[in-house]
Amino acid sequence: MPAVSKGDGMRGLAVFISDIRNCKSKEAEIKRINKELANIRSKFKGDKALDGYSKKKYVCKLLFIFLLGHDIDFGHMEAVNLLSSNKYTEKQIGYLFISVLVNSNSELIRLINNAIKNDLSSRNPTFMCLALHCIANVGSREMAEAFASEIPRILVAGDTMDSVKQSAALCLLRLYKTSPDLVLMGEWTSRVVHLLNDQHMGVVTAAISLITCLSQKNPDEFKTCVSLAVSRLSRIVSSASTDLQDYTYYFVPAPWLSCKLLRLLQCYPPPEDGAVKGRLVECLETILNKAQEPPKSKKVQHSNAKNAILFEAISLIIHYDSEPNLLVRACNQLGQFLQHRETNLRYLALESMCTLASSEFSHEAVKTHIETVINALKTERDVSVRQRAADLLYAMCDRSNAKQIVAEMLSYLETADYSIREEMVLKVAILAEKYAVDYSWYVDTILNLIRIAGDYVSEEVWYRVIQIVINRDDVQGYAAKTVFEALQAPACHENMVKVGGYILGEFGNLIAGDPRSSPLVQFNLLHSKFHLCSVPTRALLLSAYIKFINLFPETKATIQEVLRCDSQIRNSDVELQQRAVEYLKLSSIASTDVLATVLEEMPPFPERESSILAKLKKKKGPGAVSVTDLEDSKREGGELNGGSDRGPDSGAMAASNASTPSPSADLLGIRSAAPIGAAPTSAGSLLVDVFSEAGPAAPSAAVNDDGFLRDLEPTETSDSLLVEGSGDSDSAPPSEDPATLLSEADELLNKFVCKNNGVLFENQLLQIGIKSEYRQNLGRMYLFYGNKTSVQFASFTTTPQLNVQTKPVEPLVEGGAQIQQVLNIECLTDFSEAPLLNIKFRYGGALQNLSLKLPVTINKFFQPTEMTSHDFFQRWKQLSLPQQEAQKIFKANHSMDTEVLKAKLLGLGTALLDDVDPNPENYVCAGVIQTKGQQVGCLLRLEPNGQAQMYRLTLRCSKDSVSMRLCELLAQQF
């Protein structure tokens, strides 16, 4: 090989590079580069035409400057000019510049394509290679369009030079990746596959990359490559080290090619053909045998190349996962590597064994190496190797060794690198939960985890321990005792305080019998941590305190005193202040019964995938959803609504207003109307809140601190329910099983005349919550079906007895879980019968069948109308036909308190008009009922007689049936 001189004759380039090297500072370097850029720019712009040599020199300099990290925004044209040079070096620099600097949407592509076309047809193999390289590097759509049909021909043509074939294979691969639609392999398939048989090893090496990619996309069409790859591999593996001459690397025949062949085989299941399979197994055995043979060279390159093949073979064995013999041999081989002096081998062996651990055939074999792996975790000097050891321990863990592994991981955590602590914590938490035989061990483990690595214990981990403690009553007492002890430590982690606060607040009573942990001792212990904690923890502690008041009435005075002190009740943090104020008030005005109800023990959490598992998945890759936010918010909800804003309600109204379709819109149009995006109100009371985690619905809902209300966002089933105008003919829909129509259904219905949210129905098994919104003639109703039992409801169906297109709800309702259904309602004309809803499900073996009236009443479609006294009486007089008026005199059933009445009348949906009736005791209202076909104006007058406890109710509407119906409805309300 001739000695190569500096810069090979390009003196200017050498000088420039030397200058750069001699620059003492970054500033000097930038100065020199800017000078050079200016120089080149002027040369390119100059009048004198540059010769090829100069262009090459300047383009080379630009490349060098680019390498140093400076953007190059000129010189492209000069590079393109170089492409048409006949000198290889000039052409090569041109192509190099373009492959490095030109992106696929450059305007120059057309010019470049021309040059490529010329070179491809030049029949000069080196030029063809350069052109193919360039297509492969740029890979733009335009290039694909120009050359996609040409390349396969070049690739398989008999007279193409080997080096050109190599470039063509990679070029085709790139075009296939960027524009698969333009690369039609059909007729070329078999000839491309047969490149595996090519005499030339380089061609095979290049072709495998292409075939691997194509096989992944169209496995069936390329199936034949399996047998060809096996025979090629077999020839290499069984060859003597001298057979392959230049493709032998340190006495290893064709290591890279072997690896690629083994990788290609991993795209397919084990060969079905017995002979092929036998040959392959033989190859794999030979590779495993060779690992045991004495090395042919002491050089590390030899063993590396050999082991590269070995690891790839083991990957294939693991991929097949069907040959127990090979799997166990692979495991033993990796076991040897675990103690190898080469760090690289130990690393790879740990990594590879991790996948072996999940195979049923080799899991036990992997487990035999537990001591070595634990040792690696303790003694490896390289953190990435320790990380692999931790991964492997996690993978090989099962019930038999869980205690040992968890203990080792915990003790390693004390000294673990910061970078891997969080993941370790998650893994310990998952293993502890997964393999917990007795839950006291689990609680101990997690509390240890918080003690050792509190900072790395994410929210998910401590949420999870609380979920488990709440769901398992056998561990609650132990948990309370253990956290109580853990909190005794003078400095304990804030996460410990959170767990402690929560658990003592729920289950402190279980250890209160012991004078050493009497209620006051417990409280004082918690409160001693209070001032060191952050706001969210303090908020949690305040909730624990109010729970204490319920659990231990004797602490009430002490706790009230704490709540009453300025640092709580006037805390600058609004959340803390509000909690203090509300809890103080609650504790002083609520009766013990109310307190006991409000502060009842948390209901069990629905069983679901562990939130920490989800977290680990998220850490490992995108796509895993976080369910934990919901869990958090749910607990907050149960804890007692800390006074969340009721704002979203108005937002909801505005949104629904905007989505009202024009009267001419077709009926189905409402399905596509913009969804009502804002949250339902919180007026659904605590009962609904307890159930308010959205069950299977949309765990992606954005949740923030007060987000438990937003969990109810309607994202699941959106059923369109068209409320047919019920003339008398079709008003009473036949119920399949009228017997189950509950007698008190009408009472239930009456509850909802003046309000939109609440619990519609509740029995031993099922609770149905309802939230609804109305705007003009449209309504949307959210039904929440909560399973009160711990048993799954199967075949859960709900059928509104109406003209509907219903998408079914989730057929299964897990114990304790809740599902929701959305009904879109349009009022076509006025009606008097409420629509029915049939609910069927299997609980245990028994079929449950329920019929309920949906609380959709005509008044829901009221639009309030403000008017003056004058207008009111003018219209009142206009509606003077006898059938337009409906009147009823009835006894008061409820409180006649002014505010209560006003609230009811407003809830009715009409406008409550002041100063209209000459008698201030009377109430008058006005509104318009919106149906699809018409608007019905309604005027109402309610005259209470306090002495007689009687009312007189008068309605005048532009449609007589509406007067009747409203009168009936309202008479039940007062």
* Residue 866: burial class (beta carbons within 10 Å; 0-12, 13-18, 19+): exposed
- 312 near other proteins, rule: CB under 8 A: yes
| Shortest Cβ 460–other proteins spacing (Å) | 23
- Residue 423 C-beta: closest distance to other proteins, Å: 12
Under a CB-based contact definition with an 8 Å cutoff, are residues 147 and 172 in contact?
Answer: no
Q: Does 548 bind other proteins (CB under 8 A)?
A: no
320 binds other proteins (CB under 8 A): no
Q: Is 12 annotated as a binding residue?
A: yes
Site for other proteins in 860-879 (CB under 8 A): none
Residues numbered 364-383 forming contacts with other proteins, rule: CB under 8 A: 381-382
Residue 11 in marked binding region: yes
Distance CA 496, CA 508 (A): 15
Of the candidate spans 66-74, 711-719, 777-785, 933-941, the one that interacts with other proteins by CB under 8 A turns out to be 66-74
Q: Which amino acid is at 835?
A: P
| Comparison of 160 and 818: residue with beta carbon closer to other proteins | 160
Please check whether residue 546 is in contact with residue 587, taking contact to mean a CB–CB distance below 8 angstroms. Answer: yes
Least distance to other proteins, CB of residue 249, Å: 7
- C-alpha pair distances (Å), 644 with each of 26, 224, 580, 710, 770: 56, 66, 14, 11, 20
Q: Which of residues 747-786 bind other proteins (CB under 8 A)?
A: none
Residue number with CB closer to other proteins (392 or 926)? 392
User: Which amino acid appears at position 481 of this protein?
Assistant: K
Count of positions (residues) in the chain: 974
What residues from 97 to 116 belong to the interface with other proteins (CB under 8 A)? 100, 103-104
Q: Determine if residue 43 is labeled as part of a ligand binding site.
A: yes
Q: Tokens 């069907």 label which residue?
A: 322
Verify binding: residue 392, other proteins, rule CB under 8 A: no
List the interface residues with other proteins, window 290-309 (CB under 8 A). Answer: 301, 304-305, 307-308
State residue 746 phi and psi, 5-degree precision. -65, -35
Tell me whether residue 14 or residue 742 sits nearer to other proteins (CB atom): 14
Q: Which of 385, 614, 819, 823 is the binder for other proteins (CB under 8 A)?
A: 385
Binding piece for other proteins, criterion CB under 8 A, among 169-177, 779-787, 884-892, 938-946: 169-177
442 known ligand binder: no
What's the closest the beta carbon of residue 133 comes to other proteins, in angstroms? 6
Residue whose C-alpha is closest to residue 848's, from 926, 766, 936, 941? 766
Could you tell me which residues come within 8 angstroms of residue 866 by beta carbon, excluding any fewer than 6 positions away?
911, 913, 926
Nearer to other proteins (CB atom), residue 257 or residue 540:
257
> From the list 37, 98, 129, 926, which residue makes contact with other proteins (rule: CB under 8 A)?
129
Q: Annotated binding residue at 59?
A: yes
* Residue carrying structure tokens 């909560």: 786
Task: Assign residue 457 a region (left: φ > 0; alpha: ψ between -120 and 50; beta: otherwise).
Answer: beta
Contact status: 427 vs other proteins (CB under 8 A): no
The DSSP secondary-structure symbol of 5 reads: P
Q: Which of residues 170-189 bind other proteins (CB under 8 A)?
A: 170-171, 173-174
How crowded is the C-beta side of 345, counted as CA atoms within 13 Å?
21
- Determine whether the annotation assigns residue 48 to a binding site: no
Write a three-state SS string for 250-306.
CCEECHHHHHHHHHHHCCCCCCCCHHHHHHHHHHHHHHHHHHHCCCCCCCHHHHHHH
Which one among 223, 263, 319, 403 touches other proteins, defined by CB under 8 A? 263
- Ranges of H-type helices in 140-200: 141-147, 150-156, 162-178, 189-193
Binding mask 8-27 for other proteins (x = CB under 8 A): x----xx--x---x------
Q: Tell me the closest approach of the beta carbon of residue 206 to other proteins, in angstroms.
A: 4
Q: Return d(Cα 27, Cα 858) in angstroms, integer.
A: 80
> Letter for the amino acid at 896?
M
Number of residues engaging other proteins in binding (CB under 8 A): 72
Q: Which is nearer to other proteins, 171 or 410 (CB)?
A: 171
Cα atoms found within 13 Å of the Cα of residue 278, Cβ hemisphere only: 3
Q: How far apart are CA 159 and CA 662, in angstroms?
A: 72
842 marked among binding-site residues:
no
Select from 75, 152, 253, 255 the one that contacts other proteins (CB under 8 A): 255
Considering beta carbons, is residue 245 or 729 the nearer one to other proteins?
245
Q: CA 570, CA 576: separation in Å to the nearest integer?
A: 9
Cα distance between residue 228 and residue 219, in whole Å: 15
Positions in 343-362 near other proteins (CB under 8 A):
343-344, 346-348
Q: Are 108 and 74 in contact (CB under 8 A)?
A: no
By the rule CB under 8 A, 623 interacts with other proteins: no
Q: Which is nearer to other proteins, 126 or 404 (CB)?
A: 126
Among 93, 265, 510, 760, binds other proteins (CB under 8 A): 93
For residue 624, the minimal CB distance to other proteins (Å) is 15
Q: Is 57 annotated as a binding residue?
A: yes
Strand ordering across the sheet containing 846-853: 793-801, 836-843, 846-853
* b/e sequence 615-644, b meaning 16+ C-beta within 10 Å: bbbeeeeeeeebbbbbbbbbbbbbbbbbeb
User: Site for other proteins (CB under 8 A): which residue of 33, 65, 80, 92?
Assistant: 92
Give the position of tokens 């009502």.
676
Q: Taking CA 89 as the corner, what is the angle to CA 84 and CA 90, rounded to the nearest 5 degrees?
A: 35
Specify whether the CB–CB gap between 736 and 838 falls below 8 A. Answer: yes
525 binds other proteins (CB under 8 A): no
Q: Which is nearer to other proteins, 96 or 679 (CB)?
A: 96
Phi/psi for 242 (5° steps) reads: -90, -15
Q: Would the annotation count 299 as a binding residue?
A: no
Distance CA 429, CA 413 (A): 12
Is residue 147 at the binding interface for other proteins, with CB under 8 A as the rule?
no
Stretch that binds other proteins, among 197-205, 643-651, 703-711, 955-963 (CB under 8 A): 197-205
3-class secondary structure, 893 = coil
Ramachandran bin of 671, using left for φ above 0, alpha for ψ from -120 to 50, beta for the remaining angles: alpha
**Of 39, 106, 114, 163, which one interacts with other proteins (CB under 8 A)?**
163
Nearer to other proteins, 95 or 583 (CB): 95
In the block, tokens 């500072």 appear at 25
Of the candidate residues 58, 222, 311, 456, the single one contacting other proteins (CB under 8 A): 311
Candidates 131-139, 231-239, 318-326, 578-586; binding stretch for other proteins (CB under 8 A): 131-139
Ranges within 205-224 binding other proteins (CB under 8 A):
205-206, 209
Q: Which one of residues 33, 37, 40, 60 is an interface residue with other proteins (CB under 8 A)?
A: 60
Smaller CB separation from other proteins, 4 or 846? 4
Indicate whether 160 belongs to the interface with other proteins (CB under 8 A).
no
Query: Which 832-861 residues touch other proteins, going by CB under 8 A?
Result: none
Q: Which residues are part of a known binding site?
A: 11-12, 43, 53, 57-61
